[in-house]
Amino acid sequence: MAEQIWGEPRRGIRGANLRPIFAALLTFIALVAVALFVLTRNDDDGDTAADVTTTTTSSPSSTSSTTTITTTTTTTTTTIPTECTVDSAGTTTTTTSDTEEASPSPPVLTGSTLDESSSISTVGLDEVTFGMTVVQAETAANTRMIACEPVSDCYRVTPLEAPEGISFVVDDGTIERVDIVSGPITTRSGVGIGTPQERIMELFGDRIETLVNDDSSVDLIFVPRDEGDDQFRVIFTIRDGSVDTYRSGRIPMVLDPDPCTS
């Protein structure tokens, strides 16, 4: 009986001592779990912030790159001008659908022989005749010839002191053609910009050959009969029934609408 009395209290004391230990252990495990959860959330938030920062930084860079490419594309030009004029400051301006460029001119030769009374013939413009070098043409016209584009095997020049709308084609060092695209200059027969097609046919009759172009304009080609002129032509381009532009020159340069691009 004594063993039973003393044995039961001993078992109760042992169980009572273990319960606080188990409670403390459970509390510790719970604290560790909470700490791990908080740390995990912090790491995830840091990754998200990094992603947002990267996206924000790269977006302006992409926009800047696109703007640069667009600017480069729009400034590119390959068009050879069909008209060039000279302003009062002595600079040349190329008139094209793409761009306008200016280049400085040499000193002016005063007293140009080219004026509104000048005229086109099968061999040139007044005293500037086909086959002359640019220097010879300057001397003949008593004015500078300004390059409308970079000098190459084929390029255009325009007289510094002259009516508007005149350009010469220089090929392999010599002037081979003159184009009139505006202004008062006419042929010796009085044909110029705006002359009706019927008037040209009245003047030249069967000396005119007709060529229809791809853009539906019509070239009236004057073929001279004079001895020694068989290598020259005057070509009137007709649009809406009248002369839109015209040119004179030596074969083959005069036959090509864009001689320096072919």
- pLDDT value of position 21: 72
- pLDDT value of position 183: 95
Q: pLDDT tens digit string along 101-118? A: 434 444 445 689 999 999
The helix (H) or strand (E) run that includes residue 34 is helix 2-74
Q: Are strands 186-187 and 119-121 parallel, antiparallel or unpaired?
A: parallel
The pair of three-digit structure tokens given for residue 232, joined into one six-digit string: 């020259």
- pLDDT value of position 110: 64
- pLDDT value of position 28: 74
Long-range (24+ apart) CB contacts under 8 A made by 95-103 are 99/75, 101/149, 103/146, 103/147
Residues 6 or more apart from 248 whose CB is under 8 A from it?
120, 121, 122, 123, 124, 125, 177, 178, 187, 232, 233, 234, 235, 254
What 3-state class would DSSP assign to 119? strand
- pLDDT value of position 1: 44
- pLDDT value of position 127: 96
Cα angle 84, 89, 94 (rounded to 5 degrees) comes to 20
| Residue matched to tokens 């004015």 | 143
CATH hierarchy code of domain 84-261: 2.60.460
- pLDDT value of position 185: 97
- pLDDT value of position 162: 94
Cα 184 to the center of its chain, rounded Å: 31
* Regions of the chain short of the pLDDT cut 70: 1-18, 22, 32, 34-110, 262
Q: pLDDT tens digit string along 39-94? A: 555 544 444 333 433 333 444 444 444 333 333 333 222 233 445 655 444 445 54
d(CA 223, CA 237): 15
- pLDDT value of position 35: 65
- The DSSP result for 155-203, as a single string, is EEEEESSS-TTEEEEEETTEEEEEEE-SSS-EETTS--TT-BHHHHHHH
- Calculate the CA dihedral of residues 132, 190, 84, 222 and round it to 10 degrees: -60
d(CA 156, CA 220): 23
